[in-house]
Structure 1
Amino acid sequence: MFNIYKKCNKPNDPCIIGKIGSAHGILGMVKLFSFTENKNDIFKYCPWFTVKENQWIILHLEYKKNNKDFFLIKIKNIKNRNEAQLLTHCHIIIEKKTLPILKENEYYWNDLIDFKIISDTGNYLGKIDNFLQTRSNDILVIKNYRGNKKKKEILIPFIENEVIKNIDIVNKTITVHWNPIFE
């Protein structure tokens, strides 16, 4: 069933830059959600990879169309809706070396995954698990185990100088002005 994809080796330093959404129409198009700061920049970084059934696959873009909240794209060799649906929820991954080199004190969201989050009162809140993008600001998704209880999820808005007080790249910690109430 997956012979329509060109299989490949895992990239050396994989970096997630987007996600494939649902199939669109009958000709094999899919929705694409970009995680890049400028949404169009996702098309600057090639080649694209994804993982399907524990197999690394290289994706070649055939067509793109800008939509309000997402892109519509056509992947080469995907000919119909059924084939396109197989890619739903797959991440778009690139090799990190294809990204521009950052200046001092700059970082990519991907670099902040697993950073420890400490409140400005000294409380350990957990580690960054993911990011959510909203129209007003990005949100840190923090995971924390509280003793033997199940994992708690804390959502913290990424608002520099107001909520985000300090990002320490060397020690992999972020200090925030945030004190959630744990039950």
Structure 2
Amino acid sequence: MAPGEPSGAVSRSPVRIGRISGFHGVHGWVKVYSDTRPPENIFSYDPWLIDTGEGWRELKVAKHRRQGRLLLARFEGLEDRDAVTPLLNCEIAIDPAQLPPPGRDEYYWETLIGLEVVNRDGQSLGRVQGIIETGGHDVLVVAGEKERLIPFVGDVYIDAVEPEADRIRVDWDAERW
């Protein structure tokens, strides 16, 4: 496959790991925003899948570096700014098969997005629409009749995560915030 051609070889839904946030110079370098921790881990995945809005483009990172606070990457076969212009603000993802299995009681955010959140009374509070990283604890953004922010703290608010049942069980009163 030629660099940047659409790829249909993804085994499951791609997992977002960052985005292309800007250009750096005129020789095809791009600025990368990373969702991985530490941020440099984004470069340990190969190839990247770029969501162009018209499908996934599989790209290999030819070179990468950190420059101050910036993460920079250059792709094989894309040697100038014109070649990378269509990639600006595109999401970076990978095939989930590249991810190591999570540890016990650990979950990838992608696993949690879309799960129904049910409290101890059996009431559906909505579905996980996003996750906020706060530094202390991640917070689930649950959209239902109203939006709720539920700290993702096991043994306090989270009773069980059951991806196979499409559900997260929580200790959360439906009338709370």
- Give the TM-score, by structure 2 length: 0.75
Structure-2 residue corresponding to 1:132:
132
Deviates more, 1:35-44 or 1:89-98: 35-44
Q: CA deviation at 1:182?
A: 8.5
- Measure, in 1, the Cα distance between the counterparts of 2:111 and 2:38: 18
1:15-67 alpha-carbon deviations (Å, 9 max, x no partner): 32312142143234333233335443332322111221423211111222336
Deviations 1:56-96 (A, max 9, x none): 21111122233687632223344445554432332222222
Q: Distance in 1 between matches of 2:135 and 2:98?
A: 27
Letter in structure 1 aligned against 2:87: L
* Contact 1:19–1:89 (CA under 8 A) maintained in structure 2: no
Q: Number of matched residues? A: 175
Q: What residue in structure 2 maps to residue 166 of structure 1?
A: 160
User: Could you say which residue in structure 2 is the equivalent of 1:18?
Assistant: 17
Unaligned 5+ runs, structure 1: 147-151
Q: Counterpart of 2:149 in structure 1: which amino acid?
A: L
Task: Please say if 1:29 is aligned against 2:23.
Answer: no
Deviation at 1:127, TM superposition (A): 0.9
Q: Look up the SS of the partner of 2:164 in the other structure.
A: coil
Distance across 2 between alignment mates of 1:153 and 1:81: 41
Which TM-score applies when normalising by structure 1?
A: 0.73
Structure 1 SS opposite 2:97: helix
Q: Is the 8 A contact 1:23 1:84 kept in 2?
A: no
Q: Give the equivalent residue in structure 1 for 2:44.
A: 44
CA distance 1:163–1:34, shift in 2 (3 Å): farther
Would you say 1:91 and 2:94 are equivalent positions?
no
Q: Show structure 2 runs of 5+ residues with no match.
A: none
Q: Distance in 1 between matches of 2:115 and 2:41?
A: 25
Distance 1:36 1:21 in 2: 14
| Distance (Å, rounded) in 2 between the aligned partners of 1:60 and 1:94 | 11
Which residue number in structure 2 is paired with residue 149 of structure 1?
none
CA RMSD of aligned residues (A): 3.2
